[in-house]
Structure 1
Amino acid sequence: MEFDGEFELEDVPPEQAWIVLSDPVAVRNSLKGCRYITPMDDDFSYDEYEPDENLETLPEADPEAVAERAFKEGQQYAALMQVGVGSVKPRFETTVTIEERDEEQFIMTATGSGTASGSSFSMESGMQIHPLEGSEGSRIEWWTEADISGRIAQLGSRVIEPVANKIVSNFFGDIERQMSDVEETDSGITDRIRGML
């Protein structure tokens, strides 16, 4: 299954959009059904890991902490997702690898796979942030190609696609709110973090 789209943020410059979308905590907070996104190693256990629920995001967060935890190219991340699809609400234990992270062109791509009881998926996804013509804002282009099998796949695209589209819409709506919060505070935060990344 393929999903793609564009999202415009009229008052958020690309540099700022990049920083918020590079923060695993901001992404987690905006992704409905996501309990955590955290760097993982060979010993990582989905059952034993307890996420810190109270991590601050910008503008309240310490800029150095945000820069330190930003997605890193080549790093593997564990993500725990629980999303209701029809009558099924699987808990996906997901591994995501950041394949590319280009801070000059604002491009990030990732691959991932996950399993849940009776279902599995693999995916490739990416985004690029462009300046929005005629304003100071951003245009975010995103795409995902997913291969789904098992119980969820049996539900078919008529059930899966509306759920996926709702998750994406909610995600970018919440990301826009976070970016607007950052925009309303000291814009120097953006420059400080970019210098640290």
Structure 2
Amino acid sequence: MEFDGEFELEDVPPDQAWVVLSDPIAVRDALKGCQYITPMDDDFEWDSYEPVEDVETLPEADPEVVAGRAFKEGVTYAALMQVGVGSVKPKFETSVSIDERDGENFEMVATGSGSASGSSFSMESGMIIHPSEDGEGSRIEWWTDADVSGRIAQLGGRVINPVANKIVNNFFTAIESEMSDVEETESGVTDRIRGMF
């Protein structure tokens, strides 16, 4: 299944959008149903991992802390995500690898897979952040190519597509709110963080 689209962020320049979308905690907080996103290694155990609660994001967080936890190319992350599709609400144990991360052109590509109670998926996904036509904000172009199997796949595209679109729209709306909070703080915070990546 293929999903793609664009999302406009008014008054949020690409460099600022990139910094917030590079923070796993900000992404987790904006992604409804996501319990955590954390780097994983060979010893990672889904059942025993305890996510840290109440982690600060920008503008309250220390810029060095945000830069230190930013997504890194070549690193694999564990994400626990609950998605409701029709009457099915599985929790997906998902591993996501950051395959490409280009901070100059604001582009990121990731691959991943996940499974939960009789359903599984694999996907390749990417985004690129462009300046908006008016030069004041950002236009985020995103795409996902997913292979879904099991109980969720049996529901078909007519059920899955609206759910996927709702998740994406809710995510970008929440991210825009987070970015607006950063916009109102002292200038130069996102520039300083980008310099630390």
User: What interval of TM-score do these two structures reach, taking the shorter chain for normalisation?
Assistant: over 0.9
Total equivalences in the alignment: 197
The residue that corresponds to 2:141 in the other structure is: 141
> Shift of the alpha carbon at 1:135?
2.5
The residue that corresponds to 2:35 in the other structure is: 35
Task: Give the TM-score normalised by structure 2.
Answer: 0.99
The residue that corresponds to 1:51 in the other structure is: 51
Q: Secondary structure at the match of 2:169?
A: helix
Q: Secondary structure at the match of 1:42?
A: coil
Cα distance between partner residues in 1 of 2:10 and 2:34: 27
> Shift of the alpha carbon at 1:187?
1.9
The residue that corresponds to 1:21 in the other structure is: 21
The residue that corresponds to 2:117 in the other structure is: 117
Cα distance between partner residues in 1 of 2:10 and 2:32: 24
Cα distance between partner residues in 1 of 2:53 and 2:154: 34
Ranges in structure 1 where 5+ consecutive residues have no aligned partner: none
> Shift of the alpha carbon at 1:188?
1.3
> Shift of the alpha carbon at 1:195?
1.0
The residue that corresponds to 2:96 in the other structure is: 96
Q: Secondary structure at the match of 1:41?
A: coil
Cα distance between partner residues in 2 of 1:107 and 1:13: 14
Q: Secondary structure at the match of 1:44?
A: coil
The residue that corresponds to 1:77 in the other structure is: 77
Q: Secondary structure at the match of 1:98?
A: strand
> Shift of the alpha carbon at 1:133?
1.5
> Shift of the alpha carbon at 1:9?
1.1
Q: Can you list the C-alpha shifts for 1:26-54, whole angstroms capped at 9, x where unaligned?
A: 00001111000000000001110010121
Cα distance between partner residues in 2 of 1:134 and 1:103: 22
Quick check: 1:3 aligned with 2:9? no
Cα distance between partner residues in 1 of 2:170 and 2:134: 26
Cα distance between partner residues in 2 of 1:14 and 1:116: 35
Runs of 4+ in 1 over 4 A off after TM superposition: none
Q: Can you list the C-alpha shifts for 1:134-153, whole angstroms capped at 9, x where unaligned?
A: 22211100000110000000
Whether the aligned pair in 2 keeps the contact of 1:72 and 1:101 (CA below 8 Å) is yes
Whether the aligned pair in 2 keeps the contact of 1:19 and 1:190 (CA below 8 Å) is yes
> Shift of the alpha carbon at 1:177?
0.3
The residue that corresponds to 1:185 in the other structure is: 185
Q: Secondary structure at the match of 1:38?
A: strand
Cα distance between partner residues in 1 of 2:146 and 2:191: 35
Ranges in structure 2 where 5+ consecutive residues have no aligned partner: none
* Same amino acid, percent of matched pairs: 79
Counterpart amino acid of 1:11?
A: D
Alpha-carbon RMSD: 0.6
Q: Secondary structure at the match of 1:49?
A: coil
Task: Give the TM-score normalised by structure 1.
Answer: 0.99
Q: Secondary structure at the match of 1:144?
A: strand
Q: Can you list the C-alpha shifts for 1:145-192, whole angstroms capped at 9, x where unaligned?
A: 110000000011111111111100000000000001000111211111
